[in-house]
A and B are shown apart, each in its own frame.
Chain A
Amino acid sequence: MTASDEKSLPNPAPRPQSEVDDLLRAWATPKGFRIVTAVNNTVIGLIYIAAALLFFLLAGALGVLIRTQLAVPENTFLNQDLYNQIFTVHGTTMMFLFAVPAMEALGVMLLPQMLAARDLPFPRLSAFAVWAYIIGGLVFFSTVFYGLAPRGGWFMYTPLTLKEFSPGDNADFWLLGIGFIEISAIAGAIEIVVGTLRTRPPGMSLAKMPIFAWAMLIFAAMIMLAFPAVIFGTMLLEIERSFGWPFFTAAKGGDPLLWQHLFWFFGHPEVYIIFLPAAGLVSMIVPTMAGRPLVGYRPIVVALIGTGFFSFGLWVHHMFTTGIPALSLGFFSAASMAVAIPSGIQMFAWIATIAGSKGRFRITTPSLFVLGFLFIFTIGGLTGVMVALVPIDLQVHDTYFVVAHFHYVLIGGMVFPLFATFYYWAPMASRKQLSEKLGRWVFGLMFVGFNVAFFPMHLTGLRGMPRRVWTYPEGVGWDTLNMISTAGAYMLAAGVLLFLLDLALNFRPTSAGGEGNPWKAGSLEWLPSDIYSTRSIPLITSREPLWEQPGLERQVEEGHHFLPNAPTGGRETIVTSPIEAEPEYILRMPGPSWTHVTAAVFTAGFFLLLTIKLVVPAIICGVVAIAACLAWTWSLDPSPGRKPVDIGGGISLPTYMAGPRSHSWWAMVVLIIVIASLYTAYVFSYLYLWVVSPEVWAPVGSPMLPAPSWPLGSAALAVAGTASMVAATRLLPEPGGRNAALPWAIAAAAICLTSAIALEIAGHWLTGLRPTENAYSAMVFMGSALNAQLGFAIVVLLGFATARYLTGKLNRERRVSIENGAILYYYTAAQLVAGLILVHGFPRVAV
């Protein structure tokens, strides 16, 4: 780059050193035990990854116990009941407490660095999710030590998991464990969507975004659409277990298969929720090791999105043996095979990149893990296409063939890329690189051990060994194969232990920049950085900035790019437009705090106490958690009264934003999409139960539906409330002013909504309908339960907005706190009316 080019940088003049001190002060991490209040993504991200790794080790130890029990026939090492608990906790922990959180953790850790943002858009939200997950996850896992663990397998099929067949609290602990991943997944989705779309560096248009960011964006979108199905399913199951609303009880018009639909509508995409980020990581590592840009950036984006889409058309392939019409089987079988195409596209792109390096591809520990991934995942994909064929699936369903298949996909598709990631990105977070020498041994042991452990399971499966059996008889041809599997599992475990040794010897965590750029990679996370991330936020003009924009490291470090300082004195980052990444405003972010930590602890306490049916203490915890959340959000809407700040390049940005361009609006929209998917799951379930047994919709002898005046009244109230909410947003005073009508308009809106919900419940109740009666009545009341939940949230939000008004913190300019409540309100009113049409209209027209 020539001297004249340097002149055209956003901030060409030399910058004073005092700016770095300001940045260091603004971003300082709390010391000592106060580290738990930290919110910096590099600190929280590391804690998050460590926790996920811990759960991998714990669940892995259970896997080794399983293999020990199965090493020889008729073994009595574990008894049957404990075995059932162990495989359930192994599967549940691996899927929910390790795989998904590990990917979220990498998002928290890596995304802001790759996007040269100073932090995620909602730092405390991630921190909250991390602590809730760690506490809840540890409690869930520890149940296995007390015989309190669930026994129903990781997908907890009904009716086995109904109170009748699974008495005690064990199954409820499963629901609890899931509750936490639900919270952290949704928090993660909000962070990632807003983070990838709004906090990219100036100039990094969507078409220049690193593949990992694309993968995480799709990951987040899939969470938004898939998780609500299982959240709704777990709500139904817990309500049936606790209060006897018979959603899954066939004798009362319910259907156990409804659980399978809800679970797998989530469960299948879940597999890709795990795999896509891993593929994204591989797409970052391969070009670096090959020393050339990725071949097929655009096809890879298409493949990632295609996989995400197709994965929603596959769920029934887990239910091929449940008696579904042939043509349906056909659709789902076809879609299951189609999903192999995008995976194939990615495979070829990686191979082409490696081949295109003309032998310069460096064989390092990360590349070995990537190659291991290519090999193992391909085999898993091939057996996947096999089980997508209905006749084969009918043979091998619930045998060890399936166990072999999904470990090839999961360990190959996720664990190997994860270890590649550990070795590849360690220098970013540690003062020292991990050992290349030990790393090769780790890889060797894990790769050989894995194949020795899991390949024979294909054969035991084909020889008829069912999964989930605690032991097996001698002499049916399974003995040797099982012994080999167990030996392999020990070898795999040895590899993991060696990795821990490597960590202990070499990993020296730091937020102050790590070891530089040892692999000579081209993406932004390898820029010189400190606790505040990069000194200035680079102007991006290419996909591999560190390769194609010479001198970038030095320019960034010397502060010649955007925002080389902390103009508001606090934590801040640049928000850019979603497609072109043009700077829009400065986002002022909150720092360390006890509020979100308190909220996390008491949220965990709430769910835990509820699980063991200590209702009153649970409610107290819930109230404390909500109070902590309110205290936390109180500081989030800072006063806008500042002049625009100059970030360089002649650009001045406001430091406050409300309305559809603000990050808080975006977060609310993501949340509403989640809520809407949840409601869709409800509508699906309602119609599904009707399709399965229209003759009981409603059963003979049920009370008549309430007269039409009831739903019409409820709808009228919802409309009136909406009008009053719109009025409230128009009544906001000028800054410093007052408007006495505002609190009344807000109160009227809240009262209308709660009455609308109450009226709907009362109407049915007065006809004599009771939710425990049958599946139909349970579904009717369930709709109102969902509305009531939202109604509660809205009352809290509107109360919050009123308090903001009374303290002079809500006006025409500073209006984020009412805006959020308002859009949620409009959505809820719409959902309520849609529900009325379904519940009152549908039975009147249905045949």
Chain B
Amino acid sequence: MRTRQSSTLGTLCYLLAGLLMWGIQFTFVYVVHTLMCRFGAPPSLVSGLVLAITGVAVLVVLAFLVWQKPTARLLGLPADVEDRATYDFIARLMAVLGMAAVIWTGLTAFLLSACA
């Protein structure tokens, strides 16, 4: 038996990273845009902000994909844990799915006027 066990919370965050990012982006754009429109900000500013948030989210997910191994280590997943390849694959696919969702959600800002 190994002495070092993987961190439960860390492993979950690692697996879910991409979708968590989507969740954060979605909450952010929804809240920011509702508040700004409610209090009369110019729609172009709102759209710009939505796109900016989306851009940041995309970058974060990209960074996760590029530095996947170090992130896993940071989150307490030992390199020799059984089925490590499976976790890596799931995390990667989840990130790709999350990224697609982030872009897809953000795209609406290109198509619609923000506060109509």
From 65 to 116 in chain B, residues with beta carbon under 8 angstroms from any chain A beta carbon are 81-83, 86-87, 89-90, 93-94, 97, 100-101, 104-105, 107-109, 111-116
Task: Specify which chain A residues have a CB less than 8 angstroms from the CB of B5 in the assembled complex.
Answer: 577, 579-580, 582
Task: Please give, as numbers and ranges, the residues of chain A lying within 8 Å of B19 by CB-CB distance.
Answer: 305-306, 309
A40 near B: Cβ within 8 Å?
no
Shortest CB-to-CB span from A775 to chain B, Å, is 17
Residues 292-335 of A contacting B (Cβ, < 8 Å): 298-299, 301-302, 305-306, 309-310, 312-313, 325-331, 333-335
Which DSSP category, helix, strand, loop or mixed, fits chain A's interface? helix
Residue pair B8, A298 in contact (C-beta under 8 Å): no
Which residue of the partner chain, among B33, B87, B109, contacts A207 with CB atoms under 8 Å? B87
Interchain CB contact under 8 A, B86 and A207: yes
- A777 CA to B38 CA, complexed, in Å: 22
* 8 Å CB contact of B97 from A208, A334, A342: A342
Q: How far is the CA of A312 from the CA of B109 in the complex (A)?
A: 20
Residue in B8, B33, B35 whose beta carbon sits within 8 Å of that of A579 in the complex: B8
What residues of chain A lie closer than 8 Å to B87, measured between beta carbons? 206-207
What sequence of 0s and 1s flags, for each residue 1-29 of chain B, a beta carbon within 8 Å of any chain A beta carbon? 11001101001000110010011001001
A579 to B86, CA, bound (A): 12
Any chain B CB within 8 A of the CB of A578?
yes
Complex alpha-carbon distance, A328 and B104, angstroms: 13
- Candidates B6, B34, B105, B116; contact of A326 at CB < 8 Å: B116
Residues on the B chain within 8 Å of A330, using CB:
108-109, 111-112
Say whether B101 contacts A335, CB under 8 Å.
yes
Q: Which residues of A contact B114 (CB under 8 A)?
A: 325-327
Mark out the residues of chain A between 818 and 847 whose CB falls within 8 Å of any chain B CB in the assembled complex.
847
The reply to whether B111 and A305 form a contact with Cβ atoms under 8 Å apart is: no
Q: Are A325 and B86 in contact, CB atoms less than 8 angstroms apart?
A: no
Q: A573-592 vs B: 1/0 string, CB under 8 Å?
A: 00001111010000000000
The answer to whether A578 and B8 touch (CB under 8 A), given A305-B16, A331-B26, is yes
Residues of B within 8 A of A312 (CB): 23
Given A305-B16, A331-B108, A691-B34: A580 and B81 interface contact (C-beta under 8 Å): yes
B97 engages A302 (CB within 8 Å) = yes
Q: Is A341 an interface residue (CB 8 A)?
A: yes
A335 engages B93 (CB within 8 Å) = no
Assess whether B37 is interfacial by the CB under 8 Å rule: yes
A399 an interface residue at 8 Å Cβ cutoff? Answer: no
A430 contacts the other chain (Cβ, under 8 Å)? no
List, in ascending order, chain B residues with CB within 8 A of A503's CB.
none
A335-B116 in contact given A302-B94, A305-B19, A306-B19 (Cβ < 8 Å)? no
**CB < 8 Å neighbour of A335 from B82, B105, B111:** B105
A341 touching B46, Cβ below 8 Å: no
Whether A327 and B90, one on each chain, are in contact in the complex, defined by CB atoms closer than 8 angstroms, is no
Q: Are B83 and A207 in contact, CB atoms less than 8 angstroms apart?
A: yes
Looking at the complex, which one of B8, B22, B34, B90 makes contact with A325 (CB distance below 8 Å)?
A: B34
Question: A305: which B residues are within 8 A, CB to CB?
Answer: 15-16, 19, 94
Which residues of the partner chain A approach B33 to less than 8 Å between Cβ atoms?
Answer: 325, 327-328
Q: How far is the CA of A325 from the CA of B50 in the complex (A)?
A: 14
**Is A239 in contact with chain B by the CB < 8 A criterion?**
no
Q: Is A346 an interface residue (CB 8 A)?
A: no
Size of the B side of the interface (Cβ < 8 Å), in residues, is 46
Contact pick for B113, options A205, A326, A578, CB 8 Å: A326
Whether A301 and B101, one on each chain, are in contact in the complex, defined by CB atoms closer than 8 angstroms, is no
What residue in chain B is nearest A197 (Cβ atoms)? B8
Q: Does A338 contact B (CB under 8 A)?
A: yes
Asked whether A341 lies within 8 Å of B100 as measured between CB atoms, the reply is yes
- Kindly state the separation between the CA atoms of A454 and B114 in the bound complex, as whole angstroms: 38
Q: How far is the CB of A583 from the nearest CB of chain B, in Å?
A: 9
The answer to whether B113 touches A582, judged by C-beta atoms less than 8 angstroms apart, is: no
The answer to whether B50 touches A310, judged by C-beta atoms less than 8 angstroms apart, is no
Given known contacts A208-B83, A335-B105, is B115 in contact with A327 (CB within 8 Å)?
Answer: yes
A338 near B101 with CB under 8 A, answer: yes
- B86: A residues at CB distance < 8 A: 207, 298
In the assembled complex, the Cα of A691 lies from the Cα of B38 at a distance in Å of 7
Q: Is A325 within 8 A of B37, CB to CB?
A: yes
| A residues 243-282 in Cβ contact with B at 8 Å | none
- Docked pose: A245 CA to B32 CA in angstroms: 29
**How far is B48's CA from A718's CA once the two chains are assembled, in angstroms?**
43
B93 touches A334 (CB 8 A): no
Please determine whether A579 and B6 come into contact, CB atoms closer than 8 angstroms.
yes
Tell me, rounded to whole Å, the shortest Cβ–Cβ distance linking B63 to chain A: 20
In this complex, what residue of A is CB-closest to B6?
A: A579
Query: For chain A residues 552-578, which have a beta carbon within 8 Å of chain B?
Result: 577-578
CB-contact partner of B93 in A299, A331, A333, A337, under 8 A: A299
CB distance from A701 to the nearest CB of B (A): 24
Chain B contacts for A207, CB-based, 8 A: 82-83, 86-87
Instruction: Kindly state the separation between the CA atoms of A787 and B96 in the bound complex, as whole angstroms.
Output: 41
In the bound complex, CA of A335 to CA of B25 (Å): 12
Contact B81–A326 (Cβ < 8 Å): no
CB distance from A283 to the nearest CB of B (A): 15
Q: Note all chain A residues with C-beta closer than 8 A to B94.
A: 302, 305-306
B107, A328: Cβ atoms under 8 Å? Answer: no
Name the residue on A nearest B43 (C-beta): A327
Q: In whole angstroms, how far apart are the Cα atoms of A706 and B109 in the complex?
A: 43
Which of B89, B97, B112 makes the CB contact (< 8 A) with A327?
B112
Which B residue sits closest to A577, measured CB to CB? B5
A617–B50 CA distance with the chains assembled, in angstroms? 55
Check A334 against B83 for contact (C-beta < 8 Å). no
Cross-chain contact B101 with A310 (CB below 8 angstroms): yes
A576 CA to B51 CA, complexed, in Å: 45
A208 vs B87: C-alpha distance when bound (angstroms): 11
Which B residues are in CB contact (< 8 Å) with A197? Answer: 8
Alpha-carbon gap, A313 to B29, bound state (A):
12
Given A334-B108, A341-B100: A325 and B82 interface contact (C-beta under 8 Å): no
Given contacts A305-B94, A338-B101, contact A325 B6 (CB under 8 A): no
Q: Pick the most buried of A310, A312, A330: most chain B CB atoms within 10 A of its CB.
A: A330
Tell me, rounded to whole Å, the shortest Cβ–Cβ distance linking A142 to chain B: 42
Query: A335 contacts which chain B residues (CB < 8 A)?
Result: 26, 101, 105
Q: How close is B68's CB to chain A, nearest CB, in angstroms?
A: 15
Please name 12 pairs of A and B residues whose Cβ atoms are closer than 8 Å in the assembled complex, sorted by A.
A206-B87, A207-B86, A298-B90, A305-B19, A306-B97, A325-B33, A327-B113, A327-B114, A337-B104, A338-B105, A579-B81, A847-B39
Q: Which 5 pairs show the lowest CB-CB distances between chains A and B? A: A330-B108, A207-B83, A207-B86, A326-B116, A309-B19
Other than the given A309-B22, A691-B38, 12 more pairs (CB < 8 A) read A205-B82, A207-B87, A298-B93, A305-B15, A325-B115, A326-B116, A330-B108, A330-B112, A338-B101, A341-B100, A580-B6, A580-B82
